Amino acid sequence: MAKAKTNTEDYLRMYRQMVRIRTFEDNANQLYLSAKMPGLTHMYSGEEAVAVGICEALTDDDRITSTHRGHGHCVAKGAEFKQMFCELLGKEEGYCRGKGGSMHIADQSHGNLGANAIVGGSMGIATGSALRSKLQGADDVTVCFFGDGATAQGLLYEVMNMAALWNLPVIYACENNGYSEYTKTEEIAAGSITARAEAFGIEAFKVDGQDVLAVNELTQKLVARCRKGEGPFFIELETYRYHGHHVGDINREYYRSKDEEKDWKENRDPIVRFRGWLVEQGIASEDEIEAMNTEIETDATEAVAYAEAANYPDVSEVDMHVYAD
């Protein structure tokens, strides 16, 4: 990490947001393991620098579309723990009144158009949001998050073509965590990922997704250029998921070695790296960082307890919201 100390507050917020994601996920995993969470969920742990680096370069007016692995995007875009845990448990105070759950969590107030349980399903939505921005003369930008596996979906190529033709303010953010489900990316993706975008004349970048400053710096530049009508852009972020494909994917040595997992966790962890840098640069002391971690943990514990005690939606809500008024 080679960035000079310029904005203490921004750095501390980035650190805080990364820890909030990790803490949220640890609690969500615990809820699953203790059989308190309905269904399954996909953990974002390990990929925090991607969501935070990108979302910290956006405002609440900028939109994002998220994926099945969406808690990180949601937190990074500004969501609150309470409503998030309520949604994960299917409670009425959740962001979607319990109707969406982990895979459909959305937070309008901060520009999160929602997670998506269809791989690649949000690519049209993100590009359409960018089209609206351009048509209405607005200057907001939309970031489309998706995984390496999602690059196999034909929809991506249809929408990138239109985005390039019409110079839409959209950034395609490919979170390459090396796997799609139980298969290594190299076994199911031919050729280079960035070259796919370049074929449409879209400028494409590859960045270390475990380096929050590198991600943030690049995104800031691209967002500014998008606002000037120079979009679209494509970023491939090299990252890693620490858990299995979902919380139930526990015995996974048949497709991914423990040594590989250990290497990423011990040598490339985005939070550990950034924390080291913050201390080294004198931006925060170890004590200050520990205090922040503790505060976040308390916050999460309280939010979980709140969500557990919260009410389910009334059954009369079942056929509400099928059609808009």
Partner 1 sequence: MREITLSQAVNEAIAEEMRRDETVFLLGEDVAEAGTPFKVLSGLVEEFGTARVIDTPIAEPGFVGLAVGAAMTGARPIVDLMFGDFLYLVMDQLCNQAAKQHYMSGGKLSVPMVLRTNLGATRRSAAQHSQSLQALVAHIPGLKVAMPSSAYEAKGLMKTAIRDNNPVVIFEDKLMYQDKAPVPEEEFLIPFGEANVKREGKDISLIATSSMVQVAEKAAEMLGQEGIGAEVIDPRTIVPLDEKTLIESVKKTSRAIVIDEGHQSYGVTSEIASRLNEKAFYHLDAPVLRMGAMDVPVPFSPALEDITVPTPEGVAENARKLCSGEMIHAA
Ligand X SMILES: Cc1ncc(C[n+]2csc(CCOP(=O)(O)OP(=O)(O)O)c2C)c(N)n1
**Which residues contribute to the site for Mg ion (CB under 5 A)?**
147-149, 177, 180
Number of residues that bind ligand X (CB under 6 A): 14
Measured CA to CA in angstroms, residue 42 lies from 6, 195, 244, 268, 315 at distances of 35, 28, 8, 21, 27
Should residue 179 be labelled a site residue for ligand X when binding is judged by CB under 6 A? yes
Report the partner that residue 315 touches, choosing among partner 1, ligand X, Mg ion, none (CB closer than 5 to 8 A by kind).
Answer: partner 1
> Which one of 148, 208, 236, 269 is in contact with ligand X (CB under 6 A)?
148
Site string for partner 1, 91-110 (x = CB under 8 A): x----xxxxxx-xx------
Positions in 56-85 near ligand X (CB under 6 A): 68-69
Query: Least separation, in Å, of the C-beta of 188 and partner 1?
Result: 4
Residue tagged 């475990």 (tokens): 210
Should residue 39 be labelled a site residue for partner 1 when binding is judged by CB under 8 A? yes
Token pair for 301: 């514990």
Should residue 282 be labelled a site residue for partner 1 when binding is judged by CB under 8 A? no
Query: Least separation, in Å, of the C-beta of 180 and ligand X?
Result: 3
> Which one of 79, 123, 150, 307 is in contact with partner 1 (CB under 8 A)?
150
**How far apart (Å, rounded) are the C-alpha atoms in residues 106 and 55?**
15
Between residues 255 and 264, which has the closer beta carbon with respect to partner 1?
Answer: 255
Should residue 193 be labelled a site residue for partner 1 when binding is judged by CB under 8 A? no
Between residues 46 and 100, which has the closer beta carbon with respect to partner 1?
Answer: 100
The residue with its CB nearest to ligand X is: 147
Token pair for 188: 């199911």
Map residue 228 onto helix, strand or coil. coil
Should residue 180 be labelled a site residue for ligand X when binding is judged by CB under 6 A? yes
Q: At what angle do helices 270-280 and 212-227 cross, to 10 degrees?
A: 90
Should residue 256 be labelled a site residue for ligand X when binding is judged by CB under 6 A? no
Between residues 287 and 325, which has the closer beta carbon with respect to partner 1?
Answer: 325
Residue tagged 């796997």 (tokens): 179
Report the partner that residue 69 touches, choosing among partner 1, Mg ion, ligand X, none (CB closer than 5 to 8 A by kind).
Answer: ligand X
Between residues 185 and 281, which has the closer beta carbon with respect to partner 1?
Answer: 185
Should residue 137 be labelled a site residue for partner 1 when binding is judged by CB under 8 A? no
Residues 6+ positions from 243 with CB-CB distance below 8 Å: 25, 29, 43, 45, 46, 249
Report the partner that residue 46 touches, choosing among ligand X, Mg ion, partner 1, none (CB closer than 5 to 8 A by kind).
Answer: none
Dihedral of CA atoms 154, 156, 161, 166 in degrees, nearest 10, equals 150
274-282's contacts with Cβ under 8 Å and 24+ in sequence apart are 274/1, 274/14, 274/15, 274/18, 274/49, 274/212, 274/213, 275/15, 277/1, 277/213, 278/11, 278/12, 278/15, 281/5, 282/5
Report the partner that residue 40 touches, choosing among partner 1, Mg ion, ligand X, none (CB closer than 5 to 8 A by kind).
Answer: partner 1
Map residue 155 onto helix, strand or coil. helix
DSSP secondary structure of 101-135: -GGG--BGGGTB----SSTTTTHHHHHHHHHHHHH
Should residue 312 be labelled a site residue for partner 1 when binding is judged by CB under 8 A? yes
> Which one of 127, 177, 216, 219 is in contact with ligand X (CB under 6 A)?
177
Beta strands 179-180 and 170-176 are unpaired
Sign of the Cα torsion 192, 120, 126, 15 reads negative
Q: Which residues bind ligand X (CB under 6 A)?
A: 68-69, 117-119, 147-150, 177, 179-181, 245
Residues in touch with partner 1 (CB under 8 A): 38-40, 90-91, 96-101, 103-104, 116-121, 149-150, 152-154, 180-183, 187-189, 254-255, 312-313, 315, 317-319, 322
